[in-house]
């Protein structure tokens, strides 16, 4: 796969961050755009995570919608920052900053859906169980099975648990037609982003050498269209955000506040939960 395990041509100790120590080297050629950033496009595309997460944190705090939802957006920002550091340096320590926060984000989402009411129901039992599970996965990954596939399987299991629990919550509630439309659209867009990103990720992995040839042929700036791992970041940033907005809106519905809120777009392309402004009647 395109997770280049030994890109010896561009793994020199003379580069800014020195020799690569990560177990993965992605398809983007190292230190081509900048002397200071190993994988330039793979690094800066994580800014989409940061922008979307910051907007979610801001609006959650503004409307005082609970620390659990705020923590989910904060974890999404941590994912983007960790991924940017990893692709900028290609070091094993920053690789862990990229991969492990994804697991913790999913665990926080699962917790927010389990403890969806204003007051917690299970006390310390749920967070302690989730912390123990994530700590076990972390230790296994860091000290024993240092294989990206193990991380991917653990991430998928946690993510599916969150989606499944979210659907369970939906079945428990009587929702208005308007809220159903909003939630259905968020869920659809979330999956389009995630699966679209997964497709780009796999194409980048499988056809890496061909993509490198295309990039060499077209040159800058058109070569950015063939940086598919970067596009994976953009698509999954949107997919993750839409799914977090889905969780956010489920909680609003659970608390009976969904009729007061809607989904709006900052700058026309950054989605967030906002107060619904009633339309004027002429």
Q: Before 45, cis peptide (omega within 30)?
A: no
Q: How many residues does the chain have?
A: 282
Q: State the angle between helix axes of 67-89 and 228-254 in degrees (0 to 180), rounded to the nearest 10.
A: 170
Three-state DSSP at 122 gives coil
> Annotated binding site, which residues?
25-26, 28, 30, 39, 87, 229, 233
> 4 has which bridge partners?
25
- Known binding residues for Ca(2+) are 25-26, 28, 30, 39
Q: Which residues are annotated as a binding site for Zn(2+)?
A: 87, 229, 233
Tell the residue number behind the tokens 């990720």, with chain if given: 201
Look up tokens 């389009």; give the residue: 192
What span, in angstroms and rounded, lies between the C-alpha atoms of 216 and 212? 6
Closest by CA position to 110, among listed 123, 128, 127: 127
């Amino acid at each position: 796969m395109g997770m280049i395990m030994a890109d010896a041509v561009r793994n020199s100790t003379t580069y800014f961050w020195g020799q690569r120590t990560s177990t993965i080297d992605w398809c983007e050629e190292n230190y081509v755009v900048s002397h200071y950033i190993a994988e330039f496009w793979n690094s800066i595309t994580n800014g989409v995570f940061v922008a979307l997460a910051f907007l979610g944190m801001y609006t959650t705090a503004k409307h005082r919608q609970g620390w659990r939802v705020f923590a989910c957006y904060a974890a999404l920002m941590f994912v983007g920052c960790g991924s940017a550091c990893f692709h900028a340096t290609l070091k094993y320590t920053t690789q862990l900053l990229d991969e492990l926060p994804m697991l913790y984000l999913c665990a926080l989402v699962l917790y927010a859906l389990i403890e969806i009411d204003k007051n917690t129901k299970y006390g310390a039992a749920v967070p302690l169980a989730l912390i123990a599970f994530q700590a076990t996965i972390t230790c296994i990954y860091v000290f024993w099975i240092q294989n990206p596939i193990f991380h991917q399987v653990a991430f998928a299991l946690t993510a599916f648990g969150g989606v499944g629990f979210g659907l369970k919550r939906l079945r428990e509630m009587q929702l208005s037609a308007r809220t159903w439309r909003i939630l259905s659209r968020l869920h659809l867009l979330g999956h389009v982003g995630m699966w679209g990103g997964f497709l780009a990720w796999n194409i980048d992995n499988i056809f890496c050498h061909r993509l490198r040839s295309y990039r060499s042929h077209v040159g800058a700036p058109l070569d950015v269209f063939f940086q598919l791992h970067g596009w994976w970041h953009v698509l999954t940033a949107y997919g993750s955000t839409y799914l977090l907005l889905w969780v956010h809106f489920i909680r609003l519905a659970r608390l009976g506040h969904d009729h007061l809120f809607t989904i709006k777009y900052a700058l026309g392309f950054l989605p967030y939960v906002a107060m619904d402004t009633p339309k004027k009647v002429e």
